[in-house]
Amino acid sequence: MGIIVNGSLFTLHTKNSTYQMKVDDKGVLLHTYYGKRTDETDYSYLISFADRGFSGNIAAARGDRTYSLDYLPQEFPVCGSGDYRVSCLNADLGAGVNDCLLFFDSYRTYRGKYSLEGLPAMFAEDGDPVETLEILLKDYKDDLYVRLLYGVFEDHDMITRSVMIENKTGQDVKLSRVMSTCLDFSDKDLDMIHFYGKHAGERQAERLSLFHGITELRSTRGTSSHQHNPFVIVAKKDTNENMGECLGFSLVYSGGFHVQAETDQIDQVRLVMGMDDSDFLWTLYPGEEFTAPEVCMTYSGSGLGGLSRSIHDGFYRHLIRSPWKDKRRPVLVNNWEATYFSFDGKVLLDIAREAAKMDLDMLVLDDGWFGKRDDDYSGLGDWFVNEKKLGCSLKELSAQIHEMGLSFGLWFEPEMISEDSDLYRAHPEWAMVVPGREPIRGRSQLVLDMSREDVVEYLKERLFDIMDSADIRYIKWDMNRSLALAYGELFPRERQGELRHRYVLGLYEVMEALLARYPNLLLEGCSGGGGRFDAGMLYYAPQIWCSDNTDAIERLKIHYGTSFGYPMSAVSAHVSVCPNEQNGRVTPLKTRGICAMQGAFGYELDLGKMTEAEKEEVKVQVKTFKKHYRLFQFGDYYRISSPFENGDFTAWEYADREGKEACLSVVFTDLHGNPAPHIVKFEGLCKEKRYEVSRDGEPLGEFSGAALMNGGLLLPMPRENYDSCQFYACEK
């Protein structure tokens, strides 16, 4: 059993971890343990009680100054309880201050996994060993109820958390902060690993020691953002890739977020995670509920690599719903970097013909096919096919592409509107603009108010009309700016703080409707590349455009950071032209191909401008990817060397889970005169088995799994700048 209740003690077990909490004699729900799997011992004996001075005492502890919520480990701390640390809930029940104080009310358990209305969440299928625990807390005076939800995924060492708040007080309640999870650690000697970045440089891994005070990460941009990612790791100091304890926290949400880790006065650490609360203010009317996004917590006692592989497998099986997760993704060519806005039907068909010759599977038509859209100053919102530009209907273009043996995909940016558009002229009130004030523009465009039902219905209508007009198998859903001055005309002044969250709910509603109508559609997420690469988006899109930076060498760091918290099959990666259009770097075509094979593989260049030798090399790359796609898509991923630590080369590996085969890729990132030799070692093989090993298709010989994992293989000398190689090991 994953959930064991013994009186006031709640113990949650996964395969390798245990999570525990207890209702104390005051009725407060305390957190007692999270770590390596153990028994049902009551670990509250480890909590120290003392008069800490200047720490408030709740009424239930009157006369006992050794009892204060200011230092006790709690499951769901609230502001105004005498606890001065970061909290999970700020709730004004009518006095104008945050005066909520929660005590245990009841609980229930059941087989299966809870769901969250209107929000993405992990799910269980029939027969999965998944259980749910619900704990109900209540304010000591008023009828405000807080339901804590726990989903226990035993096989994946994952525990999910969410919160539902119900107002039965008979009056309005103001919520200004709702975090989805809290975890109190007794040990201050912890590191946090987070993934910062920028446009064209997302998810750069950084490890830092937690200090006394608050370490804070957040996105106030209305999306999970390029700058920070809603996934963090808390690790013991000695934890590395292959050993040590660590915990991963992933917010299943695509809007702004907030993470705080506070080391307190007695060297305890508290981590809270949830929605961005920078300008959040939600009016909860009598009888209404508010549901917070889900957080997935994952434990590993076998290092950062073990943590990542648990997350990859858990998300693959229980978060990504698309039928495409079990199919080979199409090897596609996207026309954006080949043509930008300058194309017509003939140009697109020429690219498609070249793609068919090279055994690609799909042509994706990017920005510029609709409305008056020859640059990024106009046309967004006018989702009507520009047949004059194409020289034919979308149905005719799609049919011609399908006749070549390719399928057809299309780019959309539904959430945006251009001021130079028929839609804006008809409905200026649909844009997020404060009346009487100049808007904040991004990429020369405004944002549609997705909290409005009329906007949501318009987008559904236009998307459905386009989809029904042609044979479209794939959509790239883009968003090319952040939210600023998020204002909604339909909300009064006191409710504008609800808009950003309601925007995300509107986005999810449109995506849900699209996939319900077209269940076999391959949806790819995008926000200027990786600006919305989060677990919430994976619920709808099994792959996400990882970055607008298509340079293979910079992608090494982006892929490395992404791999900690997301399955690599979700990483959309393309081979682009050289010199690269983002940084001018010249990289061998071979290396660009090897780097892009880390994820959902494709091309982003004009295939017709390649030399005959390059076209032949593309054929080899496509053949290699298709031959080994099961390994790349479903194999365990190992980070063999870090591009942040090893300046000479970066290496990664995919290994079959039964140890039958593995592919280890290496990209050289620096050259030296008279270079030292380097050895790479395989992971995930069976030491007793024998393997035939090749390098770049040329046989190297037969080796035992023990030899490949313990001795390794000698790397060849690089022959040119940014050279690369691939080792393939197959069970004999």
Question: What CATH number does the domain containing 38 carry?
Answer: 2.70.98.60
The two tokens of residue 403 are 């006749």
If asked whether residues 464 and 377 sit together in one domain, one would say yes
**What integer pLDDT is reported at residue 218 of this predicted model?**
98
Residue 534 annotated in active site: yes
Q: Report whether pLDDT(127) > 90.
A: no
If asked whether residues 78 and 137 sit together in one domain, one would say yes
**What integer pLDDT is reported at residue 1 of this predicted model?**
80
- The mean per-residue pLDDT over the stretch 285-306 comes to 98
Give the number of other Cβ atoms within 10 Å of residue 298's Cβ. Answer: 26
- The mean per-residue pLDDT over the stretch 554-561 comes to 98
Q: Percent of the chain at pLDDT above 70? A: 100
Catalytic residue among 366, 413, 534, 554: 534
Where would I find the H helices in 297-344?
Answer: 303-318, 336-339
Residue pair 133/112 in contact (Cβ under 8 Å)? The answer is no
Residue 366 annotated in active site: no
Q: Across the chain, which distance is largest between two alpha carbons, in Å?
A: 86
Question: What CATH number does the domain containing 485 carry?
Answer: 3.20.20.70
Task: List the one residue out of 370, 291, 329 whose CA is nearest residue 114.
Answer: 291
If asked whether residues 580 and 643 sit together in one domain, one would say no
Domain boundaries, position 189 = 3-318
Tens-place pLDDT, residues 615-650: 999 999 999 999 999 999 999 999 999 999 999 999
Catalytic residue among 403, 614, 702, 720: 614
If asked whether residues 176 and 156 sit together in one domain, one would say yes
- The mean per-residue pLDDT over the stretch 381-388 comes to 98
Helix (H, G, I), strand (E, B) or coil at 418: coil
Decide which of 634, 651, 678 is a domain's last residue: 634
- The mean per-residue pLDDT over the stretch 139-164 comes to 97
If asked whether residues 543 and 520 sit together in one domain, one would say yes
pLDDT tier at 187, thresholds 50, 70, 90: confident
Integer Cα distance of 351 and 619 in angstroms: 15
Q: Report whether pLDDT(126) > 90.
A: no
Residue pair 180/273 in contact (Cβ under 8 Å)? The answer is yes
Residue pair 258/271 in contact (Cβ under 8 Å)? The answer is no
pLDDT tier at 225, thresholds 50, 70, 90: very high
pTM above threshold 0.95: yes
Q: In angstroms, what is the C-alpha Rg of the chain?
A: 27
Task: List the one residue out of 139, 128, 77 whose CA is nearest residue 102.
Answer: 139
**What integer pLDDT is reported at residue 53 of this predicted model?**
94
If asked whether residues 330 and 307 sit together in one domain, one would say no
If asked whether residues 578 and 664 sit together in one domain, one would say no
Tens-place pLDDT, residues 321-380: 999 999 999 999 999 999 999 999 999 999 999 999 999 999 999 999 999 999 999 999
DSSP 8-state class, residue 316: H
Q: What is the dihedral of CA 371, 375, 381, 382, to 10 degrees?
A: -10
If asked whether residues 698 and 626 sit together in one domain, one would say no
pLDDT tier at 553, thresholds 50, 70, 90: very high
Number of folded domains that form the chain: 3
Q: What is the dihedral of CA 678, 683, 686, 692, to 10 degrees?
A: -50
- The mean per-residue pLDDT over the stretch 121-150 comes to 96
The two tokens of residue 594 are 């090897």
Decide which of 318, 345, 374 is a domain's last residue: 318
Tens-place pLDDT, residues 670-709: 999 999 999 999 999 999 999 999 999 999 999 999 999 9
Residue 658 burial (CB < 10 Å; 0-12/13-18/19+)?
A: exposed
Q: Report whether pLDDT(125) > 90.
A: no
| 395: Cα within 13 Å, side-chain hemisphere | 5
Residue pair 309/124 in contact (Cβ under 8 Å)? The answer is no
Cα–Cα separations (whole angstroms), residue 611 to 550, 618, 723: 20, 11, 20
Size of the chain, expressed as the number of residues it contains: 732
The two tokens of residue 649 are 């080369």
Cα–Cα separations (whole angstroms), residue 714 to 472, 670, 677, 732: 47, 17, 7, 21
Decide which of 606, 634, 662 is a domain's last residue: 634
- The mean per-residue pLDDT over the stretch 302-308 comes to 98
If asked whether residues 645 and 552 sit together in one domain, one would say no
